[in-house]
Amino acid sequence: MKFEMHTKITTNETEKRLHTEDNIFQLVLEGYHLFVIDEILPVYKTRQELVGSAVVKKVEWAEGRTTLLYQLISLQSVN
């Protein structure tokens, strides 16, 4: 199984908002991915469209998938 390490979060618009008040989102990725926890990372909607910044709170690996929980801390724009 392939393993990837990331210094940014790319959602491809597949993220799911879990908590509106705390801006907590969940992103499920195929394969195993490693992200830095408790550090500010840029968040991209696509490979080139910057959305804002987030802090990864939790990474889970199971059944060939990575589940990422992150808190959006700033937006690039409101649209």
Percent share of the chain, pLDDT over 90: 80
Total domain count for the chain? 1
Give the chain's residues under pLDDT 50.
none
- Look at residue 69 in the predicted model and tell me its pLDDT: 97
CATH classification at residue 16: 2.40.240.20
Domain containing 43 equals: 3-75
Q: Which residues of 7-46 are buried (b: 16+ CB within 10 A; e: fewer)?
A: eebbbeeebeeeeeeebbbbbebeebbebeeeeebebbee
